[in-house]
Structure 1
Amino acid sequence: MSTSFNYKHLYYFWVVAKEGGMSRAADKLDMAVQTVSAQVRELERSLGYALLKPAGRGLVLTDAGVTAMQLADQIFQIGENLPTLVRDAASTPATRLAVGISDGLPKLVVRRLLQPVIAEPNLRLICHEGELEDLLGDLALHRLDVVFSDRPAPANPNIKLYSHAMGNSPMAWYATPAMVRAGGRKFPHSLADMPVLMPTAHTAVRARLDHWFEQIGIRPRIVGEFEDSALLKTFGGSGMGAFPAAEWVQDDLLAHYGVKRLGPCEGVVEHFYAVGTERKVQHPLVLRVLQGVV
């Protein structure tokens, strides 16, 4: 778009198109016809296309004019709503909380971590999921208020970050009721005879799970690996294989995925952290999240 584009010119064009002619538009705007015509020609010049063409005793839109009119309708409709939207925002200000969620972190855990602030009046919760390194970059640029992760922030001489421990949870194995009935008695060795789903090596807990299998002498038949924990549970609930999950959210897991607990993953613990840019947290909602962890 040309730097000479002017929204006032667009407004004059919009009125002309709605009124169907220069004279009627000039009357509505209480301006001279020549002035309105000159303003519309300036808009056409800045855009590089004719927007109106003669038709009988009036004017009609060209193809370019139809597109310009559609966009102008949206622009000026928003403009008409602006005073109301600003008034509403000022009278009921939102409390914004921008959260980064490391892609390997269980989503049911995130919901539990955020539970202390969910009922906050006028809360505007913004969640971004991604790789930890990318999220920490956004945190350093103040695009995020806090980042939840399954590991503390790595040392970085260029970014001052603080990792706050949010708790931990033992891991257990879950599967469909049919798989639990078939393998429950011989657990954990029954895992050698059934398909297994695992988080990818991108997650902090994967190495602990691999070590656990080595300790009990099982080489699992891994049929699926997932970075997204919700996707892992969804496929596990469909019967694709047994899968590990934090016992911290067992009630939600059983209720929402139709699975049962197969057995404990002895010695394997998943840790949760909130990463921020301040040693002493200032954001009131982040502080409430940290204080509300049980």
Structure 2
Amino acid sequence: MRPGDLNFRHLLYFWAVAREGSITRAAQTLGLSVQAISTQLSQLEAQLGHTLLVPRSRGLVPSETGRLVLGYADQIFQLGAELREVLDRAEPPERRLVVGLTDPIPKLVAFHLLEGVLRPEAGYRLTCIEGELDDLIADLVLNRLDVVLSHRPVVPTANLKVYARPLGNWAMALYGTDALCAHYQPQFPARLGEAPLLLPMPESPLRLALEEWFRRHRLAMKVRAECADSALLKTFGCAGVGLFAAPACLADDMARQYGVRQVGVLDGVSDSFYAISTERRIQHPALQAIVASAPDVAR
């Protein structure tokens, strides 16, 4: 007999009869008929090839083989009782959300998109991993990530089943230190042709939009630095190295966290961010909340 062939319900009936000393009392304890238990015991003995219970006085006691089986049954059902106690005391399983972030995603944007997940009542343990988009997508496909927050979408193909959902259009503004604001804010944007600029990389959608805006206003671009990492751009910016673009709706956050002020809003320039997942229809409640809240956050 293979281990998987053992019927543990039959073993439970034997265990109850051996402890109670009779089929009648075991039937009362289990809420079953005497006939049902008697039939199951016969099937267990036939399966094991041994007599497990023998008559004595007015009851039944385990045979020599029955005492051996009873010892194992005691351990099995004791462990089962302990398992129930542990599960009754256990806290609800921890809910986790693993998010991949591309470097161009502003950290304040990521925070506001994930803010709902971070609330204690949401009950999530959040893990954030930064990296290149291609690497993050590979981890997403391998189920190492639940979602990727990206500065650009990914188009699904026959071999790549991922789906990008827009997280709003974020109107952009230029920010700088008090000294830079004092110089370039008056008569905005006329003086920007001489302003030191901190820009994202040339292949970035935001960089292309910024270049088009400067061309439209017939202004030269004086590039002081260009970085793929938005956090590094802000570090340079709060040190007074130059002006940089960030969402206009985050002016208060930018002043509080980075000590920079809004120089002016870049009319017609917006940046878009995307939630990329492997679900055609989002089932994960945290992802549903992120996508649903994005339009309000981007205002």
Residues 149-164 of structure 1: pairs in structure 2 closer than 5 A = 149-164=150-165
> Any stretches of 5+ residues in structure 2 without a counterpart?
1-85
Confirm whether residue 114 of structure 1 aligns to residue 114 of structure 2.
yes
> Any stretches of 5+ residues in structure 1 without a counterpart?
1-85
1:284 maps to a residue whose letter is P
Measured in 2, the distance between the counterparts of 1:90 and 1:280 equals: 32
1:217: how far off? 1.4
Measured in 2, the distance between the counterparts of 1:263 and 1:175 equals: 10
**Equivalent residue, structure 1, for 2:42:** none
**Equivalent residue, structure 2, for 1:103:** 103
Q: Percent identity?
A: 41
RMSD: 1.9
1:156: how far off? 2.8
**Equivalent residue, structure 2, for 1:32:** none
SS at match of 1:205: helix
**Equivalent residue, structure 1, for 2:184:** 183
Measured in 2, the distance between the counterparts of 1:185 and 1:254 equals: 19
**Relative to structure 2, which stretch is displaced further, 116-125 or 211-220?**
116-125
Confirm whether residue 204 of structure 1 aligns to residue 208 of structure 2.
no
TM-score by length of 2: 0.66
Q: Is the 8 A contact 2:171 2:249 kept in 1?
A: yes
Deviations 1:180-232 (A, max 9, x none): 11121132121122211111124321111111111111221111111111111
TM-score by length of 1: 0.67
1:100: how far off? 0.7
Q: Is the 8 A contact 1:99 1:146 kept in 2?
A: yes
Measured in 2, the distance between the counterparts of 1:112 and 1:119 equals: 12
Deviations 1:219-269 (A, max 9, x none): 211111111111111110110001111113222111111111111111111
1:120: how far off? 4.1
**Equivalent residue, structure 2, for 1:255:** 256
1:102: how far off? 1.3
1:275: how far off? 0.8
Runs of 4+ in 1 over 6 A off after TM superposition: none
Aligned residues: 208
**Equivalent residue, structure 2, for 1:146:** 147
Q: Is the 8 A contact 1:109 1:248 kept in 2?
A: no
Larger Rg: 2
**Equivalent residue, structure 2, for 1:129:** 130
Residues 234-273 of structure 1: pairs in structure 2 closer than 5 A = 234-273=235-274
Deviations 1:39-97 (A, max 9, x none): xxxxxxxxxxxxxxxxxxxxxxxxxxxxxxxxxxxxxxxxxxxxxxx99x953532110
2:159 maps to a residue whose letter is N
1:101: how far off? 0.7
